[in-house]
Amino acid sequence: MNKLWKLDMEISVVVPLYNEEESLGELTRWISKVCLGLNKSFEIILVDDGSIDNSWSTINHLATDNPAIKAIRFRRNYGKSAALNEGFRLAKGRVVITMDADLQDSPDEIPDLYDMIANQDYDLVSGWKKKRHDPLNKTLPSKLFNLTTRKISKIPLHDFNCGLKAYRLEVVKAIEVHGEMHRYIPVIAKWNGFRKIGEKVVHHYERKYGHTKYGLSRFIKGYLDLLSITFVSRFGKRPMHLFGFLGSLLFFAGFLIAAYLTYAKFFMEAYRMTERPLFYFGLLAMILGTQLFMTGFLAELVSAAGRTRHNDYGIAESINI
C-alpha cells in the first residue's frame, strides 16, 4: 500500500468545471451529504477552469458555509485535463474521486467507488454509463472510440471517457494529464504500472443546466491523442530505437540501390544515372533515412533533458528513505 503520503484524509472529490454556475450548489450539497453519511473525512476540490460566468463567485459563496470545499481558479480556460491535473496535485484523500460538475454523474456512486478502492484493492475504477442520456451523435462515435481504445490498450473498459472515476491516491500522484488526455487516464495509469483497473456501472443523467463543452471535434483529437500516448509510452524513453531503426533501414536500402546502380553503370552498360527511376528511390531513401536518424537524435536529447528535470519513474515503495 501507499507509504509515501500522509493519510489523514479519506476522500477527495475532484470536480473540474467550466461555466457551471447553476449546478454547483446542488452538486456540493449532494456530495457533502453522501460523504457525511459515509462518516469519512473528505474534501471537495473544485477546479474552476477559467469560467466566464458566475461560477467563481458561486464557489466563494458556497465555501463560506461548507468547510469541505477547496477551490482554485485558472486565469483562463485550459481544458478539463489541466483542471484534473491541478486537482490531482492538491488531493490528499486516500481515495480520489473525480466527477463532472454538470450533475450528469451522481454523487450517490461515491460509497461503492470508495469501497472498491479502499477495500477491494483496485488502483482505478472507471464508471460505465451503460444507459446514457446523451444525443446519438455523441453516443455512436463514443462506441467506436471506446472499441479502438480497448483494442489498443488491452484494458477491458466500456467507457474510457466517463467523468466519474475513483483512484488510489498514489495513482493520481504518479500520472500527468494535459492536453485532452483525460480520455485516456486508464491507459496512462496502466502504462505507469497500475494494473488493477476495474469498472462499475453508474447512473447517468441528462444535463440539467448549461450545455456540453465539447463538439464532434473531440473524436478527431481523441484519436490523435491515442496515437501520441501509444508512441510516448512505447518509445518516449528510447526514441532512437524507433527512429534509428527505421532510419538505418531506409538508408541502407538507399545505399544498396546506389551501389548497384554505380556497379551496373561501370561494368554492365553505360547509361546516365538520372535515366533510371531506381536512382530517385535510392536517393530519396538515403535522404529520408538520414533525416529519421537525426529525428531520433533530437528526440533522445529532448527525452534526456526531461529526465534530468524530474523523475519519470514511478517508485512503488521504499525502505529507510
Residues that bind ligand UDP (CB under 6 A): 16-18, 20, 49, 77, 79-80, 83, 100-102, 104, 163, 212-214
**Residue 94 binding result from ligand UDP, Mg ion, none, given CB thresholds of 5 to 8 Å by partner type:** none
Query: Which residue number, 201 or 253, has a Cβ lying nearer to ligand UDP?
Result: 201
Q: How far is the CB of 215 from ligand UDP (least distance, A)?
A: 9
Residue that is written with C-alpha cell 466563494 in the block: 60
Which single residue is written with the C-alpha cell 492536453? 179
Question: What is the C-alpha separation between 149 and 185, in angstroms, rounded?
Answer: 11
- Give min distance, CB of 34 to Mg ion, in A: 19
Pick what 132 binds: Mg ion, ligand UDP, none; C-beta below 5 to 8 Å, kind-dependent.
Answer: none
Q: Between 79 and 186, whose beta carbon lies closer to ligand UDP?
A: 79
Least CB distance to ligand UDP at residue 214 (A):
5
Please tell me the distance from the alpha carbon of residue 178 to that of residue 38, in angstroms, as a whole number. 32
| Residue 80 interface partner, choices Mg ion, ligand UDP, none, CB cut-off 5-8 Å depending on type | ligand UDP
- Compute the distance between CA of residue 228 and CA of residue 76 in angstroms, rounded to an integer: 25
Pick from 258, 257, 228, 243: which is nearest to 288 by CA? 243
The single-letter code of the amino acid at 175 is I
> Strands across the sheet with 42-48, in order?
69-73, 42-48, 11-17, 95-98, 165-168, 124-128, 197-201
Identity of the residue, 102 or 199, whose beta carbon is nearer to Mg ion in the bound complex: 102
Cβ nearer to ligand UDP, comparing 91 with 250: 91
Contacted entry of Mg ion, ligand UDP, none for residue 239, CB cut-off 5 to 8 Å set by kind: none
**Based on CB atoms, which residue is closest to ligand UDP, 159 or 170?**
159
Q: Are 61 and 87 in contact (CB under 8 A)?
A: no
The H-or-E segment that residue 245 falls in is helix 239-267
Amino acid at 288: L
Nearest distance from C-beta of residue 168 to ligand UDP, angstroms: 22
**Greatest CA separation for the chain:** 92
> Which is nearer to ligand UDP, 163 or 289 (by Cβ)?
163
The one of Mg ion, ligand UDP, none whose footprint includes residue 214, by CB under 5 to 8 A per kind, is: ligand UDP
Is the Cβ–Cβ distance between 279 and 273 less than 8 Å? yes
Which residues bind to Mg ion, rule: CB under 5 A? 100, 102, 104
In the complex, what is the shortest distance from the CB of residue 164 to Mg ion, in angstroms, rounded to a whole number?
Answer: 11
**Count of C-beta atoms within a 10 Å radius of residue 54:** 14
Nearest distance in Å: CB 187, ligand UDP? 18
Residue 237 C-alpha cell reads as 524513453
Min CB(104)–Mg ion separation in Å: 4
Residue 16 vs 244, nearer CB to ligand UDP? 16
